[in-house]
Structure 1
């Protein structure tokens, strides 16, 4: 299933001219990368995958529409899957995108 182009465009608008920003198609979605590190992925299955500080994962998973990310049954530490309904509003989307970009910005450039 292709990713949601409208959602991808909304994420692009939020990112604007973020330094070191790049896009890459992967996992059936579109990854937004900061200095070579994935920050936010617009998922082919809908919604987002957001990179977060693993120490904050449990707290963020408690938010409505958020859950731990799993790939092929394996948990991915430091990633949150956000349901489409939880990022439909502009403020909610901006909050999730900001979290991913902020955390990716703390990682060494690749």
Structure 2
């Protein structure tokens, strides 16, 4: 690529027709480079969007997993409460049975 084709033309190192052709070719090279640059830029933006989408999905999935874990924790807590209540009821039933048997013993005496 000639940096200053005008100087070549002025010095007689280039014909007028070569100068015109050179500028046309140079314009095509510039257009091609610009197109490549635009395409690269678009690809980079697409990559950023893809990464943001992946990161957003990860955040949403993590939040969902967190909610699920919280709900599982609540269920386990509720199961423990139910078990405690069941144990309490069992203890009360046993106490009632003991009291009944003691009451029957005292009645027979």
The TM-score bracket by the shorter chain reads under 0.3
Q: Which has the higher contact order (CA 8 A, sep 6+)?
A: 1
Please state which structure has a larger fraction of its residues in helix.
2
- Give TM-score scaled by structure 1 length: 0.20
Please state which structure has a larger fraction of its residues in strand.
1
Rg (Cα) greater in structure: 2
